[in-house]
Amino acid sequence: MKPKILLNPGTGWAGTTPFYYTLRNAKFCNAGYHKEFHYLEMMSQNNALFDDWMLERYTDAPKIEYRTQKPRPYTKEWDKDYYTGLLTAPHSFDKYIHHMMHLHESYPEYHCACDFSNHIIGLSEEFLTAHAKAIEPHFDVKVTMLVADPVFRYYQELGGLINQRIYKESLSEKKRKILYKNNDLLIDYYIRHKKQQKLFRYCIEKSIISKNCNYEYNFNKLCWSYGNKNVLLIEMEKLWNSSYHNEMFDKLSTFLDYEIKPEHLHPNVYCSKEKEIEGLADQNTEYEPLTEELYELGKKHL
């Protein structure tokens, strides 16, 4: 029997971190040193700057972890030489498969390995189909995709640009140059000065909409690549609403063929009155309130 692997390619700012913690609490999966591996994005870009960022991310001395704001602990599979070899070009699906097998063997107390890299959602259908064909002989593949209220989620995504500038400092600058390629000085000004409402209005009115917002296409792309029966769409607001727990946890457990219970559910800042939850600094993304007027503006475009 092939080992299972879970891919959770997003959607960013729809509760993917507390969802990962939930599955880890249930001993379902473990991603290792970083929740988001980003290997497939690195392979797709084939960019020396991205390679350098990845090597620094995995092999430099432990730094303050973004989500917990504490020193990142070494994990069982971590080894500097191992990650240096893994992340040094050339990149390949074979290396990816080897690493997922390594994670599976390193964490026998967990049901499977996983890849929670949110950037997978932006990869092309051709690339994802090639990935699916490469890993199919080795793994039983399951894919989960979280979505949330599209206006709320995009507002938090833009707040995330402010968040990363605060919490990641110089690393966020390097990451933005590699991933976002933003040449708009006004956007940069709004980010630097935490003007989230003006940033949201400007992006909406200029139709500057991220790929994350295209839920229907992104979901279909995953289905076309990995197969309809292997992809599950999860609504964030329902998963963290006790009124839907029977429905949502039954559906999730059946899909994963593994029991996930409400008591495994990790708190989610986006669905809680409590806005300071340990391990979720990446959800500190509302620097100014999303007003009713801005929400209605967003509804017209999203």
For the segment 233-257, what is each residue's pLDDT rounded down to a tens digit? 999 999 999 999 999 999 999 999 9
Confidence of residue 37 (pLDDT cuts 50, 70, 90): very high
Mean pLDDT calculated for residue range 177-203: 81
CA distance 147 to 154: 11
Q: Give me the phi and psi of 255, to 5 degrees please.
A: -65, -45
What stretches of 61-115 adopt beta strand conformation (E)?
112-115
**Residue 171 has what pLDDT?**
46
How many residues does the structure list for the chain? 302
Q: pLDDT at residue 170 above 50? A: no
Do the beta carbons of residue 223 and residue 136 sit within 8 Å? no
Q: Which of 267, 275, 15, 289 is nearest to 155 (CA)?
A: 289
Mean pLDDT calculated for residue range 106-119: 97
**Residue 178 has what pLDDT?**
44
Q: pLDDT at residue 11 above 70? A: yes
What stretches of 102-205 adopt beta strand conformation (E)?
112-115, 140-147
Q: pLDDT at residue 8 above 70? A: yes
Its CATH architecture, for the domain 4-149+213-271, is 3-Layer(aba) Sandwich (3.40)
Collapsed DSSP state (helix, strand, coil) of residue 245: helix
Mean pLDDT calculated for residue range 153-172: 76
**Residue 69 has what pLDDT?**
80
Mean pLDDT calculated for residue range 30-50: 95
Q: pLDDT at residue 66 above 80? A: no
CA distance 119 to 50: 13
* Amino acid type, 229: K
Query: Model-level pTM?
Result: 0.94
Q: What is the mean pLDDT of the chain?
A: 92
Of 92-96, 124-128, 169-173, 260-264, the poorest mean pLDDT is in 169-173
Buried-exposed string 119-141: b where 16+ CB fall within 10 A, e elsewhere: bbbbbeeeebeebbeebeebbeb
Mean pLDDT calculated for residue range 114-124: 97
Here the tokens at position 100 are: 């997922």
Of 161-165, 180-184, 187-191, the poorest mean pLDDT is in 180-184
Place of tokens 């989620």: 153
**Residue 246 has what pLDDT?**
97
- Name the residue ranges covered by the structural domains of the chain: 4-149+213-271, 151-211+281-301
Residue 71 DSSP symbol: B
Of 15-19, 44-48, 146-150, the poorest mean pLDDT is in 44-48
Here the tokens at position 65 are: 């972890």
1-37-237-161 Cα dihedral, nearest 10 degrees: -170
CA distance 16 to 219: 15
**Residue 166 has what pLDDT?**
56
Measured CA to CA in angstroms, residue 189 lies from 182, 184, 193, 285 at distances of 12, 9, 6, 17
* Amino acid type, 250: D
Do the beta carbons of residue 31 and residue 20 sit within 8 Å? yes
